[in-house]
Amino acid sequence: MTDFDPYTIAARFGAGETDAQPIAPPIYQSSTFWSADADAFLESATKARHTGFYTRYGNPTVRLFEDAVAQLEGGEAAMAFGSGMAATTGAVLSLAAPGGHVVAQSSLYAGVTSLLRDIAPRFGVSVDFFEQTDVEAFAAALKPETKLVVLESPANPLLGVTDIASIAAHAKANGEAVVMVDNTIATPINQRPLMLGADLVMHSATKALGGHADLLGGVLVGSTALIERIWHTAYLFGAVFDPFAAWLALRGLRTLPMRVERHNRTALAVAERLERHPRVAAVHYPGLRSHPQHNLAAHQLKPGAGSLLSFEVADGLAAAETVLSSLEIAHRSASFGSFSSLAVHPAAMWAASMNEAELVAAGVAPGLIRLGVGFEDPDVIAGDIERGLAKL
């Protein structure tokens, strides 16, 4: 980790990729590419992840984005998708064939929970969930047919932290399951799961990697062999990353280290201030010393804990709605990792994919508000929330 220099990586990837030697790489906004002869056509049509045949198979601009994220994560290769859910679905359906088994932590993004609980079984894939802090429960859930382990750390929306190294070590000692970590919240600036023993990293590029709230995308990072294994199934799904969106994401990656640095400081300052407020029942942020896994977070998350936090309004659902309705700085909106602060009521947002009992089981309290901090001054963000709390 001491040799990791994201600032230099972000400043240099993609320069000089064509004969014209551009500093900013061009957009290959082409659906298909021509070949000089039959042999060249055959090679491009049959080689995995070729960037000179058809953009569903690969594209030079998309490849630049994939290579840049792979560099930041310390992986050999990457595959980009049209969204984070497309990336996760590609991994699950590529690696867990009928008769296979998946072990996943119970605290996950609601869309991933729905995929594993409702969709994967239709393809003959069984799934068991475990509480993310309970390594013994994970060990008990492993089976000889376990093909994939799905983790998210920090996890959305309660920011729980998974001991990635311990889970990965146990998985490798007891089978051949691929350990996949959703690293969207942390970003590769704060955490690199491959360095902790994971096999595969997933990002929703819609969030901090893109960083400007103007694209949808997802990406998987791992070994070349693993990414090619996934590609042979996932490219058939057609959920590819558009070249223009890839170009936007490349532009966003240039400033990722600086943006994350700002997000880390701002989120911690807002979390510390909200923690002192009498109308706030709890604040969930791994950077707080009061977080139950702060020591693990300090080991895994360096130099900070990211842009996302959540807090529980003391008087429940109606009180949370009062606070959200009064906000003038943070927009009521899904997503996070943007230049502007976004706040949402998880119990309302996820009602379509999780019933009330499931929300309670996942620890999503009725009064929970999730906040993704932007570039605004932390005192301005906190003051905006405090004005809403004063109305209770």
Active site residues: 56, 109, 182, 207
End-to-end CA distance of the chain: 46
Q: Which two structure tokens, joined as six digits, stand for 329?
A: 């700085």
Give which of 51, 10, 11, 4 is closest to 31, Cα–Cα: 51
Cβ(309)–Cβ(267) under 8 Å? yes
Q: Which two structure tokens, joined as six digits, stand for 233?
A: 């199934």
Q: Which two structure tokens, joined as six digits, stand for 29?
A: 């906004």
Give which of 108, 186, 112 is closest to 152, Cα–Cα: 108
User: Between the CA of residue 72 and those of 241, 297, 327, 382, 388, what are the distances in Å?
Assistant: 19, 20, 35, 32, 39
CA distance 29 to 62: 10
CA distance 217 to 209: 9
Q: Which two structure tokens, joined as six digits, stand for 194?
A: 């491959």
